Structure 1
């Protein structure tokens, strides 16, 4: 192992730490990563053995006709990451010892949850009929909450591998991802995975693909990514069916930034797809977004670790380091071009539309600055999160963040804790509403007749509003027909309006519903999975806004409103929602030394109430006989003390209550 100057001396100084050798190659790399985490001043020293020094890969031999850019899309748990492992293994990017390790799932949260939440890129060298090819692979997430990652990945590709489970068949997110690729006019290669399973039925799945997607069944490739069966046919199909990128190295440089992350030592590392020209170390490039000029410090490809190269050419996908130190300088969707050859910027991406908003506050206000830096760096890596400053009387200064769904919010919170050691309080999730103002004064103040309300505490009063609008989504449900009746009842209870019902085969039905987003965002998917024994799948897309009779419901603790628990509900569901929230709070808030009244109120009218009983103390336990007036004095003093505590006492609300209070238990 090669050590930087001074590092060997520091290792001898800290020789009291026990070395744990890496099981793979016998090095001390595992120990050194752990040691650098617990020794802050060692962060300035880096191992030279972790990244290659020689730029020994010549990408000039890969002309655009020998390049294929593709991504893997599928429903969650259909085998995307496992297939990516096999492709990496066959092309020599990883060794056989890393088999079935899902190498591209590099985040701790991905390992723990067993899902992909972040698209990852890898470049593969593959010889087809004796001709070397460069295959750029992007592994994408499968959950609906991370569809923005899929749409950004598709923009850098010319084709997709659409994976379908041979046992489960077409699922809701399979349909959604297909239409993303279809609208982008990409070549689609259907892959039927898991043919090694006992209950696999590839013939039935091929019939589903032909009926739903109008793709001939003879174009489907049957594989087992786990065992590696027929995976070589996938690589052949990628070369033969996916067109090469239409780009020339002689044209001006146009590099699309489709992803980025922050490195403590080098600044922003941007993943780019070159739609023309070439770029090398020392070139001066300009950002179309900020019009700033940067000098390229490093270029390379991902295999999936960073591999520096001398240049990147048109049609290729790689990374560039340009000395961007400010997080705001790296905008996903930006176009980089050479300083002396300006070009028109690429279209970029549609801005992500947050579907769920939640307040995020530090546990202690002294941690505000550190949490702000952590959120900025994490949003650079996840550009679909929107951030705006917020404040609360109870929780202090913080932010209101917009997410694509509840799982997205949970994963973001978990990454803050794991990657930045930040502890936060997250308030109950809400959806964005619109209000059409009728007051001329407010219209002038806001500059528009229609305003968006993301914080329920700022919901305008009915007296100044002509109508309220709530977000509507088009939901797609795929399930066995045995559970159709239960699913129809669940959708009706969530104010769903059926739009379509189609049998995709003899046993599976696809239903389309229009839902108010507020009715499905918290626990609808969990209930759907529960009542269908896990066989149903659900996906939704934005369908605009509709007028609705909405009201603001406040939660009072001993007569004091709790701003963080204020919610917007439909008038028809106000009583049931208020009663359910009071019952949840009664279970979530610990008992106090005084009685706590939990109330749901609309304006000045209380519509539901629960009481948290006080801890009882027997003040007469030590009184044996004696004067009755002594006992009366003790009881009177106890009553006066409880009354005073009720008046000035603060109720401790656990942070878990903010989410659990919204979850309903539909019968």
Structure 2
């Protein structure tokens, strides 16, 4: 077991698609942890969705044995982190477990929005930063320009940056030497009371929860009784060890080391990322700083397409919850869609990942309602409500005012797209726009936006107007006053509760028109006219009509008095009116899906 002086704990951080996982693959290969036969791309991305989308969703850790150029043996602990904004809390806990980071910059794209955001996060944790320029094998690679951007925009030494190609493996050994040479060794006293930071957990069907920890102080041993300082629970340690793709058991983990703990914890929900583990008999005086509970920001109801699949959906969510502690759900029901669950997510990517896993791993066909955010509603009598489900929106007469969550968005793009992006932000009720020119030809736009507008279809539109060159990052900045209304959709006079949504009053009519037009195109025609309406309370703000089938009842009348034809038409009209009163309009599943497609411009 390496001593502290020969241990290095580091993370790789980068903007999305700058080659973080590929660089991790090359480092694993160089250290010989995995045989060539067992090696596969994106080694640390164990979830199939991570491989398909080319993104990292879960934090992973791996211990790499490395012999430096001077012959010294080192233990390098690489903590791989997600790059997406939805999982930023996980990233912060992973960074709190390290002493240094490799900041990867794409040689052709240069410094982007999340490169800056990640650098600031690393500096907040007082980490040593080693810049790495990746993708030098590309035709469009411009290494001198990347070095200049690292110096000018990031304030790091661009000449010190290691230029590599993670894809071809060119110059990657220099990265390992830089880790050993430039990053500090961990601190901590193995004899002090135990303090270990939980930075991730995953579910093993045979062993329960496997907890990934960084030991800050003290020693974690097999057989020890441990105490979760925020969770308030005690467990007995069954096994400790390090990760080298597979779990390798050890007798103990000392201060400065990164590894795993198995302690008979039943579900991932019983462990909180950021919690501190201490010794139950000799506890630490205080937990490690920075803990907070992950709170969902986006909410949506999930219903099975076939109502018979409800028990399967309940079972699937329960199994998924074992692996994903940040997913919260409760029972929900709708007149139109039957029984389902109201779920809370960390962001839109988290929602997509959960939906895709439910559909593919458990073979379910699902309908999701329009994603919404949590609003604060203040009533005249002084009570405050937190509402994310339109069904619980109170009577408008009793509301004093409403507040909605805002985010500060940072959009980095080539200068030529500013004329297209500005109107998009203003259309989404953007405030406090601020322009910054980090380097010639590129512009950074900072703007405050309502979270409800961001989750609807902002990112898709941004990618469209910038032809894929715009990058987008955001952080929550709190709540602001807003003029909210509840938009209801009525079909044949009946309210369809699954299509109700809370929207800003300015956006109510465009959203209502979009919904009624989509429903008009997808609801099949009946023997009577079907009115589809968008309403705020009793006020109708949009309408569309599905025309009735008409049988030519006058075909048998050839000539003769016109009153004969009129009598038949009146009889048909009366029949249709009677049918409309008792007729039930079945809304097909594709109609719900069509309304959720967020293309409001068609």
After TM superposition, is the score higher than 0.5?
A: yes
CA RMSD of aligned residues (A): 2.7
TM-aligned CA deviation for residue 619 of structure 1? 6.7
Q: Which residue of 2 aligns with 1:84?
A: 24
Unaligned segments of structure 1, at least 5 residues: 1-60, 444-449
Alpha-carbon distance between aligned partners in 2 of 1:363 and 1:119, rounded to the nearest angstrom: 33
Q: Which residue of 2 aligns with 1:520?
A: 454
Q: Which residue of 2 aligns with 1:349?
A: 291
Give the stretch that moved more between structures: 629-638 or 291-300.
Answer: 629-638
Do structure 1's residue 125 and structure 2's residue 65 form an aligned pair?
Answer: yes
Alpha-carbon distance between aligned partners in 2 of 1:422 and 1:299, rounded to the nearest angstrom: 37
Alpha-carbon distance between aligned partners in 2 of 1:575 and 1:413, rounded to the nearest angstrom: 29
Do structure 1's residue 225 and structure 2's residue 166 form an aligned pair?
Answer: yes
TM-aligned CA deviation for residue 650 of structure 1? 3.7
Q: How does 1:76-475 map to 2 (within 5 A)?
A: 76-97=16-37, 101-128=41-68, 129-343=70-284, 344-347=286-289, 349-363=291-305, 367-368=309-310, 370-439=312-381, 443=383, 450-475=384-409
Structure 1 consecutive aligned stretches of length 4 or more whose deviation exceeds 6 Å: 624-632
TM-aligned CA deviation for residue 494 of structure 1? 1.4
- For residues 128-182 of structure 1, give each alpha carbon's deviation from its aligned partner in whole angstroms, at most 9, with x where no partner exists: 2222111111222222233233222212212111111111112222222222112
- Give secondary structure in 2 for the equivalent of 1:101: coil
Taking a change above 3 Å as real, the CA distance of residues 315 and 370 of structure 1, as seen in their structure-2 partners, is farther
TM-aligned CA deviation for residue 119 of structure 1? 1.9
Taking a change above 3 Å as real, the CA distance of residues 365 and 306 of structure 1, as seen in their structure-2 partners, is farther
2:412 to 478, 484, 491: 478
Check conservation: 2:374, 2:405, Cα contact below 8 A.
Answer: yes
TM-aligned CA deviation for residue 639 of structure 1? 6.2
TM-aligned CA deviation for residue 652 of structure 1? 2.0
Alpha-carbon distance between aligned partners in 2 of 1:223 and 1:551, rounded to the nearest angstrom: 54
Alpha-carbon distance between aligned partners in 1 of 2:306 and 2:213, rounded to the nearest angstrom: 39
Check conservation: 1:148, 1:384, Cα contact below 8 A.
Answer: no
Do structure 1's residue 562 and structure 2's residue 500 form an aligned pair?
Answer: no
Alpha-carbon distance between aligned partners in 2 of 1:490 and 1:67, rounded to the nearest angstrom: 49
Taking a change above 3 Å as real, the CA distance of residues 328 and 340 of structure 1, as seen in their structure-2 partners, is same
Q: Which residue of 2 aligns with 1:503?
A: 437
Taking a change above 3 Å as real, the CA distance of residues 643 and 246 of structure 1, as seen in their structure-2 partners, is farther
Give the stretch that moved more between structures: 245-254 or 395-404.
Answer: 395-404
- Give secondary structure in 2 for the equivalent of 1:522: helix
TM-aligned CA deviation for residue 76 of structure 1? 1.2
1:648 to 583, 587, 590: 583
Alpha-carbon distance between aligned partners in 2 of 1:581 and 1:347, rounded to the nearest angstrom: 47
Q: Which residue of 2 aligns with 1:68?
A: 8
Q: How does 1:18-29 map to 2 (within 5 A)?
A: none
1:535 to 465, 469, 474: 469
TM-aligned CA deviation for residue 408 of structure 1? 1.7
Alpha-carbon distance between aligned partners in 2 of 1:165 and 1:654, rounded to the nearest angstrom: 44
Alpha-carbon distance between aligned partners in 1 of 2:405 and 2:512, rounded to the nearest angstrom: 21
Give the stretch that moved more between structures: 367-376 or 72-81.
Answer: 367-376
- For residues 394-420 of structure 1, give each alpha carbon's deviation from its aligned partner in whole angstroms, at most 9, with x where no partner exists: 334443222232222111111223334
TM-aligned CA deviation for residue 426 of structure 1? 1.7
Check conservation: 2:499, 2:592, Cα contact below 8 A.
Answer: no
Alpha-carbon distance between aligned partners in 2 of 1:578 and 1:364, rounded to the nearest angstrom: 27
Q: Taking structure 1 as the reference length, what is the TM-score of the superposition?
A: 0.83
Alpha-carbon distance between aligned partners in 1 of 2:299 and 2:275, rounded to the nearest angstrom: 26
Alpha-carbon distance between aligned partners in 2 of 1:322 and 1:451, rounded to the nearest angstrom: 40
TM-aligned CA deviation for residue 327 of structure 1? 4.9
Alpha-carbon distance between aligned partners in 2 of 1:286 and 1:294, rounded to the nearest angstrom: 7
- For residues 344-372 of structure 1, give each alpha carbon's deviation from its aligned partner in whole angstroms, at most 9, with x where no partner exists: 33235333343311112344566555534
- Give secondary structure in 2 for the equivalent of 1:512: strand
Taking a change above 3 Å as real, the CA distance of residues 483 and 458 of structure 1, as seen in their structure-2 partners, is same
Taking a change above 3 Å as real, the CA distance of residues 419 and 302 of structure 1, as seen in their structure-2 partners, is farther
- For residues 274-325 of structure 1, give each alpha carbon's deviation from its aligned partner in whole angstroms, at most 9, with x where no partner exists: 1122223322222324443322222222212222233222221111111122
Alpha-carbon distance between aligned partners in 1 of 2:575 and 2:356, rounded to the nearest angstrom: 45
Give the stretch that moved more between structures: 482-491 or 95-104.
Answer: 95-104
Q: May I ask how many residue pairs the two structures share in their alignment?
A: 598
Check conservation: 1:596, 1:646, Cα contact below 8 A.
Answer: no
TM-aligned CA deviation for residue 620 of structure 1? 7.5
Alpha-carbon distance between aligned partners in 1 of 2:425 and 2:526, rounded to the nearest angstrom: 39
Alpha-carbon distance between aligned partners in 2 of 1:258 and 1:368, rounded to the nearest angstrom: 34
Taking a change above 3 Å as real, the CA distance of residues 630 and 421 of structure 1, as seen in their structure-2 partners, is same
Check conservation: 1:588, 1:657, Cα contact below 8 A.
Answer: no
- Give secondary structure in 1 for the equivalent of 2:141: coil
Taking a change above 3 Å as real, the CA distance of residues 539 and 270 of structure 1, as seen in their structure-2 partners, is same
Check conservation: 2:522, 2:590, Cα contact below 8 A.
Answer: no
- For residues 257-288 of structure 1, give each alpha carbon's deviation from its aligned partner in whole angstroms, at most 9, with x where no partner exists: 22112222211111121112222332222232
- For residues 13-61 of structure 1, give each alpha carbon's deviation from its aligned partner in whole angstroms, at most 9, with x where no partner exists: xxxxxxxxxxxxxxxxxxxxxxxxxxxxxxxxxxxxxxxxxxxxxxxx2
Q: Which residue of 2 aligns with 1:10?
A: none
Alpha-carbon distance between aligned partners in 1 of 2:268 and 2:314, rounded to the nearest angstrom: 12
Give the stretch that moved more between structures: 400-409 or 315-324.
Answer: 400-409
TM-aligned CA deviation for residue 618 of structure 1? 5.8
Alpha-carbon distance between aligned partners in 2 of 1:554 and 1:658, rounded to the nearest angstrom: 17
Alpha-carbon distance between aligned partners in 2 of 1:317 and 1:421, rounded to the nearest angstrom: 37
Taking a change above 3 Å as real, the CA distance of residues 300 and 632 of structure 1, as seen in their structure-2 partners, is farther
Taking a change above 3 Å as real, the CA distance of residues 487 and 292 of structure 1, as seen in their structure-2 partners, is closer
- Give secondary structure in 1 for the equivalent of 2:456: coil
